[in-house]
Amino acid sequence: MTAYVILIPLFWRVFLLVERGQHFHSHDARGLMADVAVSLGFITLLIPLARLVRIASVFMLTFWSILHYAIYEHIVALGELPNIAHVGYLSDPTFFFGSVLHVTHPVVLLTLSLAGAWVGWHLRVLHDWRSRTVVALVCCVGQMTAVAFWPTSIKTMPWRQQNALIEAFVASAEAFPRATALVDVIGESGILAKIDVSDAELAIVNRAFASDLSGQTRIALDRAERPNVLLIVLESVCGAHIDAICLPAGVKSRVSLPYLDELARAHLCYSNFLTHQGQTNRGLYSILAGDFPRLTTAAPKMAEIAGRGASARSFLPGVLRKNGYATAFIQAAPLGFMMKDRFMPVAGFQTVLGDASFDHAYERNEWGVDDLAFFEEAFDQLKAIAAKSNPWFVTLLTAGTHHPFLVPDSYRGHADETERVRSFYYADEALRWFLGKCESENVLRDALVIVTSDESGGLIGSAGAVTRRMSGQWGFAIVIIPGEPPQMITEPFCQSDLALSVMDYVQLTEDASDFIGRSMFRSYAQPRPLFFGSTYGRFIGMFDSAGTLHVFNDRFKPLYSADTAPNALFRIAPREEEPDNLGVLAAVVRRSLGDRPPTTGRVIRLADRPFLIGGEVRETYVFGHQYFAIDQDAVLVIELDVVISTSEENRVRLQHRFWVGGSYPSKFTSPWLPDKGRYRIRCVYRTGAPQPEVFLNQVALREQVTDATIRFDRATITVVPVSDWDGPDLWPREFRILEED
């Protein structure tokens, strides 16, 4: 039993090294010791529990196998250890069925899990179990102490030096202040409040949050008519996947996308383009809002705006719409995930289409349709919009390069590569078809076309540890302008510059102050600092105006600094010195958190429009709310009132999943509802304390594969301070259904 428990994490660690073609390094020994320490700690729990309940050892050892496989999959997909703050996504059906249940090595997982169950069933607890438990505990404490005093190295990726469970435990101890970004981070006694910021540093920060159109134009910006604008956002594509961008930086990726490389060499290409954060709802927010996302793992601004159903901030599509543009947002994935069905109309899109709008696909999963099918449908939609509207602004967002990487069986390219690598090549070919079709039918005449990504999935290939970690911020932007000669632009730009750049190009500069940053169509004599964060890697950092990289963890403890080459931000040479510029970075992070609305005393609207359920999948994600925080002890009043419309032979059941602070207080399900069936529920939950994460989603299950529509007469969460609550008395963390019919 002891050997099995210890060998499981070691097996997957070695498996990762072999799979990635990496050699064992002295710093890997720290990770191995951490694995053994955690395994011994697990054994101290397993031995006494197995003595009391035999079946418990079966479940615990099976769970041990599955847990470490999940950690392996996370590292493969994102290159980082799991972040405890993202555990709420496990309750989301799109994420759970779309990514979690897709197993890369099912035979290996099944074999190890069955082996764990067999070992657990045949486990014999000897008479000296107490002494064995004490020995395991002493060894665990000794190794934990050694790991704590063994410093990590910036020359090796964190997952090779650390244990995911230790890091999760440390992170969970700090999760509340980090996730709320209210009590500890921006509070009067918080970390940011204790960091001094000089007047000179404050001036740098103020410039970072201002719009700057003072540069010299690099292209002609005067035109007789307002141009159309097409924004193509490719899920997770990294700048290192384009040879024209990565080779000058001295980096070579296993993924080398030929069509994007052609576009980069034939048009305006921005080779030093920075993504501010990970996750679509952060990157896409920054692009459309012309604003920094929250640079820490705090509630995404997109989620909060979607929950409010309104925003005082201006967004690019809204400003364009106000000036006569027809606006449309089309994505391959279900709109309910990350609440884009609610956010995009607030941002100013008149037409919002997602997975439910696509009848045809060469391959489909819970994340939506494959990229070629998406672009085929998007072309038809774009052609229809262009035929009846002028000018127009259309945004397209792919999903095929999101884990588990959707590639149709009919695609034969790069058959010797992993599905992840093949998905990027498939997306590249799909984009070639789309832009070729648009050109052949003259749909994009006189249109500005911007091709970029929502986030960077990072480098796939060998490189130094700092370069690999920073490749998660390595974006790209290719701009296609009719008649404009190619330019390789090395001046650094970032996602938050895109909105201002579009405003500059379409000559709506009177509204430019709504957005921060610089125009990508101008050149600037003075360099500026660039800022970023990683919700996956749990770090924040900046490139200062001299190009020096400074990186801290999300508690503002120094990690590393590095020099970069002139005109190549990602040609990185680590330095011995600790990072600097903490005052500037802390002030930018503080301001990036934004003016958070009071979480108490407000109503969060979860849905307010009919939702059509179609397709072959019987379980459909309806809505969800990722990450909103409660800043005091409060009562959450959840009210749902829905009506079903469907065929006579079909019925629909609604399941509501309610997640608070990392645990499920409740999961409640309606009865089967026929056509014109109504379901109402009013329930309450007392938080008992400030809560970093509150999450509610709804899943619809159909008996028959026929369409159904859910009409929401009410779907809200009202946050009531305990001092203002006049309902029944509730214990802290008590959940109660008040009305249901």
Q: Please list, in sequence order, all residues whose beta carbon lies within 8 angstroms of the beta carbon of residue 292, skipping any fewer than 6 positions away.
A: 209, 276, 286, 496, 516, 531, 588, 591, 592
Which is nearest to 568 in space by CA: 552, 549, 541? 549
Residue with tokens 């007392």: 686
> What does the pLDDT read at residue 215?
94
Residue 75, pLDDT score:
84
Divide the 741 residues of the chain into consecutive groups of 10 and give the mean pLDDT of each group.
85 84 80 88 82 80 88 81 64 57 79 83 68 83 85 80 80 49 40 71 89 93 88 96 93 93 97 94 95 86 79 90 95 87 92 91 89 96 90 96 90 88 96 96 93 92 84 95 94 97 93 90 95 90 93 86 90 88 86 65 72 70 65 85 88 81 68 88 85 74 84 86 88 84 79
Which of 410, 314, 404, 309 lies closest to 361, judged by CA?
Answer: 410
For tokens 């997952």, name the residue: 159
| The CATH number of domain 603-740, selected from 2.60.120, 2.40.30, 3.40.50, 1.10.3470 | 2.60.120
Angle at 713 between CA 355 and CA 719, to 5 degrees: 95
Q: Which amino acid is at 269?
A: C
Report whether 386 contacts 443 (CB < 8 A): yes
Global pTM value: 0.79
Q: What would the pLDDT profile of 168-181 be if each residue is shown by its tens digit? A: 777 655 544 443 33
User: DSSP H helical segments within 364-418, as ranges?
Assistant: 371-388
Q: Which residues contact 319 (CB under 8 A, 6 or more apart)?
A: 348, 503, 508, 511, 514
Encode pLDDT of 273-311 as tens digits.
999 998 899 999 999 999 999 998 777 888 888 877 777
Largest CA distance in the chain: 90
Q: Nearest 10 degrees: CA dihedral of 353, 356, 362, 368?
A: 80
What pLDDT was estimated at residue 386?
92
d(CA 431, CA 27) in angstroms, rounded, equals 42
Residue 504 in contact with residue 519, Cβ under 8 Å?
yes
- Residue 140 tokens read as 């665990």
pLDDT number for residue 182: 36
How many angstroms separate the Cα of 526 from the Cα of each of 22, 214, 493? 41, 11, 13
φ, ψ (nearest 5 deg) of residue 570 = -100, 15
Report the CATH architecture of 200-522+531-592.
3-Layer(aba) Sandwich (3.40)
Where do the structural domains in the chain lie, given as residue ranges?
A: 2-174, 200-522+531-592, 603-740
Record the tokens describing residue 481, joined without a space: 């302008």
